[in-house]
Amino acid sequence: MSSEEVLKIGGEQTPYFRNDEFSQVMLENEKLMKEFVYASEDSRVIFVTGSGTAAMETTVMNVFTSKDKVLVVNGGGFGQRFVDLCELHDIPHDEIKLDFGQDITSEILDEYNNQGYTGFLVNICETSSCVHYDLDLISDFCRKNNIFLVVDAISSFLADPLNMTEKGIDVIITGSQKALACPPGISVIVLGEKALERVNANECKCMYFDLKDMLKNGERGQTPFTPAVSILLQINQRLKEIENQGGVEAEIKRITALANDFRDRIKDLPFEIHCKNMGNAVTGVYCVNSQASEIVDALKKEYGIWVNPSGGEVGEKMFRVGHIGNLTIEDNDKLIEAFQGLEKRGILK
């Protein structure tokens, strides 16, 4: 859910953008994004017009080449997407295939020490299963092996601690429609110094997703082509709201509290949580005796509450409850009351 002010911008006319006013907004967006992920002074931020996958593909195409050897964590739908992108763009890669909801361990990573890997791709919160991988382990492994680390934090940014400098992350990816709580349409790439070197040394065989071109235009707060102007204005509003409400740590704390409150309160209901290391953005809820789709539908039709169904093998059993954006403890109250209502009527079993 978006804030009232963000919604208001969405209802206004889209302004002309090839001017200083819009450039200042973009430069402020870059500054606040860098601050919120603890990026180094020389890092850069690119706003790509396209959903999160556009930033994933832009990154794979611009920072890696056929001379790389990339390790991809694949524990669900989004990990598979990185594998598919490496395949499509001829980036040599191996995947660490995990079970759905399984975390990465040092035993798993140990097998890949000293094997000549040059890049590492991970969706730090694999949103399909809700697992949040151990970033400390991954960061140590990449440092030790001198591996270039790309973190897709699309659903994790603003929900879980994320310190680019401390963890030695080279690229962080996020998107407008998760905890930034804006409409979909913009994805964000934060590039550290080593990433900028790679981009400048590589040739990108694509016009629209050429990071060199985006970086050049970005120096003056502009984009090569017409961006999703209104969403960028909404992102600006939202980043300033976070700043004014205590900054990134306050937002992470707020979302953590919402997630913990929800997870505590479903303990008395016929639900289970199967994933041990969940991110704060979303809870994967397993139904003991009910069909997940029936619960999702009943919440939508009878209570006006939207939770997310799951795809794939777990679709019948699992649905997902988000804790990001403009939600409060009162929203948790309403959801828990709705579950209790469904249970009383025998719909939730």
**Residues near ligand PLP (CB under 6 A):** 51-53, 78, 123, 125, 127, 152, 154-155, 175, 178, 184
Report in angstroms how near the CB of residue 288 gets to ligand PLP at its nearest: 26
How far does Cα 214 stand from its chain's mean position?
A: 21
Sequence-distant (≥ 6) Cβ neighbours of residue 280 within 8 angstroms: 132, 159, 160, 252, 255, 256, 258, 259, 323
Report in angstroms how near the CB of residue 183 gets to ligand PLP at its nearest: 11
- Coil vs helix vs strand at 190: strand
287 and 270 Cβ atoms separated by less than 8 Å: yes
Q: Indicate the residue among 53 and 332 with the shorter CB distance to ligand PLP.
A: 53
How would DSSP label each residue in 275-337? -SSB-SSEEEEEESSS-HHHHHHHHHHHH----EE--GGGTTTEEEEE--SS--HHHHHHHHH
Report in angstroms how near the CB of residue 342 gets to ligand PLP at its nearest: 27
Q: Indicate the residue among 22 and 133 with the shorter CB distance to ligand PLP.
A: 133
Q: Indicate the residue among 2 and 290 with the shorter CB distance to ligand PLP.
A: 2
Q: Indicate the residue among 147 and 154 with the shorter CB distance to ligand PLP.
A: 154
Rg of the chain taking only CA atoms, in angstroms: 20
Report in angstroms how near the CB of residue 155 gets to ligand PLP at its nearest: 4
Phi, psi of 111 (to 5 degrees): -60, -20
Q: Indicate the residue among 154 and 195 with the shorter CB distance to ligand PLP.
A: 154
Residue nearest to ligand PLP (CB): 52
C-alpha dihedral over 169, 172, 178, 180, to 10 degrees? Answer: 100
Q: Indicate the residue among 22 and 126 with the shorter CB distance to ligand PLP.
A: 126
CB atoms within 10 A of CB 313: 9
Of 258, 269, 277, 274, residue with least CA distance to 321: 258
- The rounded distance, in Å, linking the Cα atoms of 121 and 74 is 9
Q: Which amino acid is at 169?
A: I
Q: Indicate the residue among 52 and 221 with the shorter CB distance to ligand PLP.
A: 52
Report in angstroms how near the CB of residue 76 gets to ligand PLP at its nearest: 9
Q: Indicate the residue among 159 and 338 with the shorter CB distance to ligand PLP.
A: 159
Beta strand residue intervals within 104-256, DSSP E: 119-123, 125-126, 131-132, 148-152, 171-175, 186-191
89 and 70 Cβ atoms separated by less than 8 Å: no
Report in angstroms how near the CB of residue 41 gets to ligand PLP at its nearest: 27
Report in angstroms how near the CB of residue 341 gets to ligand PLP at its nearest: 30
Report in angstroms how near the CB of residue 301 gets to ligand PLP at its nearest: 25
How far does Cα 308 stand from its chain's mean position?
A: 16
